[in-house]
Amino acid sequence: MPKMTIAEALRQAIREEMQRDERVFCIGEDIGVEGGFGGAFTVTLGLSQEFGHDRIIDTPISEAAIAGMAVGAAIAGMRPIADVQYGDFLFNMMDQLANQAAKLRYMSGGTLSVPMVMRAPVGTTGRGAQHAQSLEAFFTHVPGLKVVCPATAYDAKGLLKSAVRDDNPVLVFEHKLLYGSKGPRSEKGAISPVGEVPEEEYLVPIGKGIIRRPGKDVTIVANLLMMYRALAAAETLADHPIDVEVIDPRSLVPLDKDLILESVSKTGRLVIVEEDNLTNGWGAEVAALVSDKAFWWLDAPIKRVAAPDVPPPFAPVLEGEYVPSEQKIVDAVLSMF
Amino acid sequence: MPIDILVPPLSQTMDTLVLVEWVKKVGDPVTKGETLFTVETDKATLEVEAPGTGVLRTILAKPGDEIKVKSVIGSIAEPGEVLQGTVAAVSPSPAEKSQSLGIAVSSSQPVITTIGSGGSSLPVERPGRIFASPRARRLAGQQGISLTELQSSGTGPQRAIIERDVKAYLEQQSASPRVTPVARRMAEMAGVDLRTVVPAKAGTITKADVQASLQQLGPSVSVPASEVAQGTSWKVKLTPTRKTIARRMLESHRTVAPVTYMSEVDATRLTKLRKRILRELREGADRPTITDFLVRITCLVLAQHPELNATFDGETLELHESVHMALAVDTPRGLLAPVIRNAERKGLAELAHLRSDLVDRAVKGTITPQELSDGTFTITNLGTLGIDHFTPIINTPQVAILGVGRIREVPAVKKGKIRIRQVMGLAVTCDHRIIDGAPAARFLKDICTLVERPDMIWL
C-alpha cells in the first residue's frame, strides 16, 4: 500500500473527486499559480496543470469573496472545495459561513443545499497570534456546519472525500505540523505522520471517531496534533503503570458520542486535550456530555488540558508553554489517580 | 524546597505518639494526601497523610519510636532535588534566589492559567460528608456496602474513595478470615502476625489456631522485642491506650464518690420483643442487641432524670440536653468507649447500625479520637461474658454509669405460682457528690420499669 503525507493524501482526494465529478472545483489564494507552492501548504500543487485554471481558481486576497463565491456556486449546484491559507482568516468570512452557508438549507425548508467544503490550516507554529489559532470550537457552535479534523493521511483522504460528497457545508481543519515535514512549505517541528493510504476507493464517514490506542484506566480524547501528544503521554504513563485509551474524534460535528461514552464507562476517567484556549472549547462540550450521560461511571473529575486563555504568543519559549505538552497531559492524568 | 514531615497533634491529651509504621520507604514517590505513616495515639491507630508531593527522601524515626507532636520525622523532596546540607556547592535556582531577595517572581509574568494538574482541593471535610467518586458509589450501591465502612480509606484524588478502594474492600472482605476477639488479643500479646496463622476451620481464626501457631514457631516468637525476659516473668511496655486507661481509672477512683445500686429485673418481655423484631428484620440490617435496647431505654429515662446526663469537673456541674451515649467496648488494645451522639434522637435500628459500626472500628483501631470523646453517660455490658452483677466505674467527668449483667432463666414466684422468667442484673454507679441515693434509685427503678414493659419504649 502506498505511503504518503497528509498533504499528499489531501491532494489525492481532491484529484479523485475532481475526476469523479466535474462539478467539483477548487477556489483559494495562490492555489494554482505557476511556480507557486500549490496553496499555503502544497496541497493543490500541480493540480492546475492537470485540471486547468477553470477548475483550480485563484482569487484576489479576499477571504469574504472566496466564501461568498463558494456558497453561491454550491447553491447553484457545484461542489466547491474552498480554502484559506490560515484558519485564522476564517473570521473574514464569518457572515458567509455562519449566516449563509450554515442556515440556507434550514431557512429554505430544504429547497436549497450548500454542498461546499472549506479547508483551513490550524495550529501554533511560531507565527504569532493571527496565524496560529485552532478554530474548530468556533464552528462547532454553529448549527448547520459539519466540522472534521483528520490527523492521519488515511483519514485526511477519506474524510475530505466524504466532505465533498456531503450535501452540507463541511469545514475541514488540517494541522500545519501534520501536513508532512517534506517539501518547501514544511513547518519547523512538524511530525510528519506518513501513513498508508489504499489505492482503491474508500471513504471515512463523517461522525465516526476511532480508538488510536486501547487502554483500560483513563480515556484521553484529543484531536490533530494533540492526539499525537496524547499517544506519547500514554507511552510515558504506561510505566506508572496507567493504561491509557486514546480516542481521536476525527469529527467534532457530528461527534461520535457513543464511542466516547463507551470508553469512559470502561475506564472511569476522562481527559480532553485541545490546542485551543480552554474556555468554552469543544472539550467543555465533551466534558458536559460525559458528566451528563456517564456520571455514574466516573471515578475522578474530568480534566481538560488546553492552551491558557491568552492569544498564541510569538516568543518560542512562551509558545512552548502555551501549547499543551506531553508533560502537561501526563500531569493531568497522574492527578486523577 | 524539601517539605518537612511533621507529627500532627492528633491527641488532645498526649504530646508524644508512637510511630507504628511507614507506609512508604525512602525513595518512594509520594503524592500529597496519600497515607505516609501510621501512629498510635492513646485512643486509636491513625493514618497520617503526606504533606506534599515528591519523593520520600529522609526518615528520622523508626517504627516503635515515641515521636513528639509537631517534630520533624522526615522529608519529601522533588525527584533530583538536592537536600540542604547534603551537597554544599549548590547555588539556588533563579526562583529561589529572587524569593530570598523578596522579589515576587510571579507578578512580572503574564497571566498563564495552570491547567490540567492539581486544581482546587476538596472543601474541608464536614462530619457526615463522604467524598466518593460516582463510580465508587455505583459499585458500593450494587454490592450493598455502606460508604461509611470505607471512610478514610480513600486513595483517589484528594483522598476521595474511588472504585479501586471499593474493590479492595470487597476483596479484603472475602479474603481475610474472621478472628475471634480472644485469638486477636492472644496474637497481639505474643507478637504473632495473624496473617501467618492458618485456621483449622476455614474462615475463622480461633484461640487454638494462635496457640498452634505459637508452638510451631517456638518460644523465641512468644517473647516480643518489647518484652524483656526476666526469669519466668516479662516486663511489658505499656501501649499508649493502656497508659490512658490506667490514668483515667485511677483518676475516677480518686476523685469520685461512687455508690453502686443494684437491681434484678424481669427481662422476659424484652427478650421476647427483641426476638420478634429480629424475625421481622430485613436482610442485611444490623440486629439490635440488648445493649441497643438499653441505650434506647436509658435515653428515655434520662429525659426524666437530667441530673444523671451530666458532667462534673469538681467545681461546675454541667447538664446536657443531648445524650451522647458512650459504650464500653473491649478491644485488642484495651477498653474504649466510643460515643453515639444525640442518641436520644435515634431509633432502635439506627442505634444498632451506629453501635455496630463504632464497635467494629474500635476493635479494628480505625476509630477517630473525636468519636471517643464528649460522652455524657456510659453503658457497660458484661452480660455476654457471663457476669451477673458488677460495680461499674464511672467514666469521668460523667456522673453515672449503667452496668448490664447476664440474662438468665430463674424460677420466679408471681401471684403464688412458680414460673420461669428471664432475669437480668442491672447496676447503676452514681457519683454521690452530685447524685444522692434516692434519685439514683428512682432512676434505676424507671429503667427497670421500661425493661419489664418494653412496649412503652415506642411511646
> How many Å apart are CA A90 and CA A192, to the nearest integer?
25
Q: Which stretches within B256-338 are classed as H helix?
A: 268-280, 290-304
- CB contact under 8 Å between A324 and B116, yes or no, is yes
pTM above 0.80, yes or no: no
> How many Å apart are CA B363 and CA B44, to the nearest integer?
9
Question: What's the angle, vertex CA B189, arms to CA B183 and CA B191, rounded to 5?
Answer: 95
Shortest alpha-carbon distance between residue B47 and chain A (Å): 19
- Residue B113 has its nearest CB partner, among A309, A318, A324, at A309
Q: Which helix (H) or strand (E) holds B217?
A: helix B207-217
The percentage of residues in chain B with a pLDDT greater than 70, rounded to a whole number, is 83
Q: Give the residue from B113, B137, B159, B164 with the most A CB atoms within 10 Å of its CB, the best one to mutate.
A: B113
Query: Residue A57 above 70 pLDDT?
Result: yes
pLDDT at A46: 94
Note the Cα B459 to chain centre separation in Å: 33
Residue B443's nearest CA partner among B292, B310, B307 is B307
- Residue B116 has its nearest CB partner, among A268, A300, A328, at A328
pLDDT confidence bin for B103, thresholds 50/70/90: very low
- Nearest-CA residue of chain B relative to A267? B135
pLDDT confidence bin for B298, thresholds 50/70/90: very high
Asked if A309 has any chain B CB less than 8 Å from its own CB, the reply is yes
Query: Residue B232 above 90 pLDDT?
Result: no
User: Is residue B79 within 8 Å of B241, Cβ to Cβ?
Assistant: no
- CB contact under 8 Å between A335 and B137, yes or no, is no
Note the Cα B22 to chain centre separation in Å: 21
Helix (H, G, I), strand (E, B) or coil at B391: coil
- CB contact under 8 Å between A336 and B137, yes or no, is no
> Which of A4-18, A192-206, A218-232 shows the lowest mean pLDDT across its residues?
A192-206
Helices (H) and strands (E) in chain B, counts: 11, 22
> How many Å apart are CA A263 and CA A269, to the nearest integer?
9
Residue B75's nearest CA partner among B179, B4, B146 is B4
Q: Give the residue from A237, A299, A330 with the most B CB atoms within 10 Å of its CB, the best one to mutate.
A: A299
pLDDT confidence bin for B6, thresholds 50/70/90: confident
Average pLDDT over every residue of A18-23: 97
Query: Residue B225 above 60 pLDDT?
Result: no
Asked if A329 has any chain B CB less than 8 Å from its own CB, the reply is yes
Judging by DSSP bridges, how do beta strands B204-205 and B45-49 pair with one another?
A: unpaired
> Which of A5-14, A269-278, B60-69, B220-229 shows the lowest mean pLDDT across its residues?
B220-229
- Residue A332 has its nearest CB partner, among B112, B117, B138, at B117
Residues of B in contact with A221 (CB under 8 A): none
User: Is residue A52 within 8 Å of A58, Cβ to Cβ?
Assistant: no
Residues of B in contact with A300 (CB under 8 A): 133, 156-157, 162
For residue B312, what are the contacts with CB-CB under 8 A and spacing of at least 6? B318, B397, B399, B431, B433, B434
pLDDT at B231: 52
Q: Which stretches within B8-122 are classed as H helix?
A: 94-100
The percentage of residues in chain B with a pLDDT greater than 90, rounded to a whole number, is 36
Query: Residue B117 above 50 pLDDT?
Result: no
Q: Which residue has the higher pLDDT, A32 or B11?
A: A32
The winner for highest mean pLDDT among A300-314, B111-125, B274-288 is A300-314
Average pLDDT over every residue of A84-90: 97
pLDDT confidence bin for B49, thresholds 50/70/90: confident
> Which of A135-144, B108-117, B147-156, B330-339 shows the lowest mean pLDDT across its residues?
B108-117
Q: Write out the three cell numbers for A205.
A: 464517514
Shortest alpha-carbon distance between residue A131 and chain B (Å): 20
Fold entry, domain B3-81: OB fold (Dihydrolipoamide Acetyltransferase, E2P) (2.40.50)
Q: Which helix (H) or strand (E) holds B412?
A: strand B400-414
- Nearest-CA residue of chain B relative to A308? B113
Average pLDDT over every residue of A309-318: 96
Write out the catalytic residue numbers of A. 131
- CB contact under 8 Å between B157 and A332, yes or no, is no
The percentage of residues in chain A with a pLDDT greater than 90, rounded to a whole number, is 93
Q: Which residue has the higher pLDDT, B104 or B244?
A: B244
> Which of A294-298, B50-54, B350-354 shows the lowest mean pLDDT across its residues?
B50-54
pLDDT confidence bin for B119, thresholds 50/70/90: very low
Average pLDDT over every residue of A31-43: 92
| B51, burial (CB in 10 Å: exposed 0-12, middle 13-18, buried 19+) | middle
> Distance of CA A16 to CAs A29, A47, A164, Å?
21, 11, 11
- CB contact under 8 Å between A336 and B118, yes or no, is no
pLDDT at A211: 97
Summary mean pLDDT of chain B: 81
Average pLDDT over every residue of B206-228: 62
Shortest alpha-carbon distance between residue A1 and chain B (Å): 40
> How many Å apart are CA B88 and CA B14, to the nearest integer?
39
Residue A337's nearest CA partner among B93, B160, B316 is B160
Question: How many beta carbons lie within 10 A of that of residue B261, not counting itself?
Answer: 18
For residue A267, what are the contacts with CB-CB under 8 A and spacing of at least 6? A215, A216, A217, A218, A219, A245
- CB contact under 8 Å between A335 and B157, yes or no, is yes
> How many Å apart are CA A278 and CA B341, to the nearest integer?
47
Q: Which residue has the higher pLDDT, B350 or B225?
A: B350
> How many Å apart are CA A39 and CA A32, to the nearest integer?
7
Average pLDDT over every residue of B57-61: 84
- CB contact under 8 Å between A298 and B134, yes or no, is yes
Asked if A298 has any chain B CB less than 8 Å from its own CB, the reply is yes
Question: For B288, what's the count of Cα atoms within 13 Å in the CB-facing half-sphere?
Answer: 26
Average pLDDT over every residue of B147-159: 82
The percentage of residues in chain A with a pLDDT greater than 70, rounded to a whole number, is 97
Q: Which stretches within chain A are classed as H helix?
A: 6-20, 47-51, 63-75, 94, 104-107, 136-140, 153-165, 224-237, 257-267, 282-293, 316-322, 326-334
pLDDT at A184: 59
Residues of B in contact with A337 (CB under 8 A): 156-157
CB-based burial, B265-279: b 16+ in 10 Å, e otherwise: bbbbebeebbeeeee
Query: Residue A1 above 50 pLDDT?
Result: yes
Q: Where are the domains of chain B?
A: 3-81, 134-175, 178-236, 241-458
pLDDT at B12: 66
Query: Residue B130 above 90 pLDDT?
Result: no
Residues of A in contact with B138 (CB under 8 A): 296-297
Q: Which residue has the higher pLDDT, B386 or B218?
A: B386
Shortest alpha-carbon distance between residue B318 and chain A (Å): 47
Residues 63..122 of B with a Cβ closer than 8 Å to A: which? Answer: 110-113, 115-119
pLDDT at B109: 38
Do B3-81 and B241-458 have matching folds?
Answer: no
- CB contact under 8 Å between B116 and A303, yes or no, is yes
User: Is residue B308 within 8 Å of B402, Cβ to Cβ?
Assistant: no
Query: Residue A33 above 90 pLDDT?
Result: yes
Q: Left if phi > 0, otherwise alpha if psi is -120 to 50, otherwise beta: which for A46?
A: left
Pseudo-torsion of CA A10, A13, A14, A15, nearest 10°? 120
Shortest alpha-carbon distance between residue B153 and chain A (Å): 14
- Nearest-CA residue of chain A relative to B162? A299
Helix (H, G, I), strand (E, B) or coil at B24: coil
- Residue B117 has its nearest CB partner, among A295, A321, A331, at A331
Query: Residue B108 above 50 pLDDT?
Result: no
Asked if B165 has any chain A CB less than 8 Å from its own CB, the reply is no
pLDDT at B282: 83
Asked if A304 has any chain B CB less than 8 Å from its own CB, the reply is yes
User: Is residue B388 within 8 Å of B406, Cβ to Cβ?
Assistant: yes
Fold entry, domain B241-458: Chloramphenicol Acetyltransferase (3.30.559)
The winner for highest mean pLDDT among A63-77, A181-195, B199-213 is A63-77
> How many Å apart are CA B239 and CA B20, to the nearest integer?
11
> Which of A59-73, A234-248, A300-314, B156-170 shows the lowest mean pLDDT across its residues?
B156-170
pLDDT at A8: 94
> How many Å apart are CA A326 and CA B83, to the nearest integer?
28
Domains (range + CATH), chain A: 3-196 (3.40.50.970), 210-334 (3.40.50.920)
How many residue pairs from chains A and B have C-beta atoms closer than 8 A?
70
Shortest alpha-carbon distance between residue B124 and chain A (Å): 18
pLDDT confidence bin for B89, thresholds 50/70/90: very low
Asked if A321 has any chain B CB less than 8 Å from its own CB, the reply is yes
The winner for highest mean pLDDT among A190-199, B72-81, B198-207 is A190-199
User: Is residue B387 within 8 Å of B406, Cβ to Cβ?
Assistant: yes
User: Is residue A116 within 8 Å of A73, Cβ to Cβ?
Assistant: yes
Helices (H) and strands (E) in chain A, counts: 12, 14
Residues of A in contact with B111 (CB under 8 A): 308, 310
